[in-house]
Amino acid sequence: MNALSRCSHRLAILGSSLFCLSVWLHPVQAQTAEQIAEEAARERQRSETMMRTQNLKIPPRSRQTDATTQVQSEDLLSSSERKRLEPAAEDRQMYAAFLRQPDTGLFKLLSAENSGTVSVKDVAHTPLPLFGGGTYYSFTKRKHDLNDWAEIRLREGVLEAGFSNLTMGFVTMLGDVPLDALNLTSPGVSHLDAFVPAGNYDEANEQYRQSAAGFTLAGFIYKSSQPVMANQSYVLRSVRFGVTDQLVVLRVIRQQSDGTLTILWKRLKTAKAPVLKGIPKTNFLAGR
């Protein structure tokens, strides 16, 4: 076995101990117009089940009788409500050159503990009527919706990955490194680029157990969650089996006193994710 083969073999072994996986398996089908109302009710029930599982507070239903009922997509929020999800104008201006690059973006994550208060006068002290309260984000869809596409979330001062349906992921802190200085060969990033996701349930289940505990390798902590630190960069790997595989670097450029974050990001790689085989009828991995 030559040096390259030995290296690839070691990386494959390393990959089996890196990632967590969280699975709720259900088929994804195109909707007809007649199915939209029924699917909306099912989606609310599914979202509430996910939030209970993750020990999140379920938004009250008291507003269901008016126009500001809880919605599944930020596209359905009012303009004043959407302002809470928009980064500050000065941040966009400061990073304008970076944001002109392809596969880059800037977004906010609201703190769950403070998502019920706002600074816009006409909606002050009104809960954001969006499932997840603006604490979730999808780099793929560039939205804060709580659904299977969500790839990162903020919970109690921690950034988490690998929580959505049929998705595996983790986030690793890289330190105070500019995003422009990071690439696929950077320390802490290269291990994730070389990682090959498990193709069957048993291997993924073992990955889940090890990733939940976390471990250190070459000075980097590999885990499905990392504490929030301002002016620090992270790398995130999110594998939605059968759909997409994303490798993203991100940086917390602002942390407000209420816990809200502003995050700058850049996608380094995207690929088609493998289909996970051998999933039992329970659809759950160890630790859920």
**Range among 33-47, 67-81, 93-107, 160-174 with highest mean pLDDT value:** 93-107
Alpha helices in 25-180 (DSSP H): 36-53, 79-82, 89-94, 96-99
Provide long-range contacts, Cβ within 8 A and 24+ apart, for 28-35.
Answer: 28/148
Sign (positive or negative) of CA dihedral 280, 282, 287, 288 = positive
pLDDT tens-place string over residues 45-57: 555 555 555 555 4
188 class by beta-carbon count within 10 Å (0-12 exposed, 13-18 middle, 19+ buried): buried
Query: Residues 225-260: pLDDT tens digits?
Result: 999 999 999 999 998 888 999 999 999 999 999 999
pLDDT of 121 > 80? The answer is: no
Whether 266 shows a pLDDT value over 70: the answer reads yes
Q: Name the E strands within 122-260.
A: 136-137, 152-155, 158-160, 167-175, 215-217, 220-222, 225-227, 233-240, 244-255
Contact yes or no for 130/71 (Cβ under 8 A): yes
pLDDT of residue 188: 96
Alpha carbon distance 53, 46 (integer Å):
11
- Copy the structure tokens of residue 157: 């001062």
The domain spans of the chain are 3-24+86-271
pLDDT, tens digit, 9 for 90 and up, residues 123-175: 434 668 899 999 999 999 999 999 999 999 999 999 999 887 778 888 999 99
Report how far residue 105's alpha carbon sits from residue 4's, in angstroms, rounded to the nearest whole number. Answer: 35
Q: Higher-confidence residue: 33 or 97?
A: 97
Residue 43 pLDDT more than 90? no
Sign of CA dihedral 226, 227, 228, 230: negative
**Is residue 104 classed as helix, strand or coil in its secondary structure?**
strand
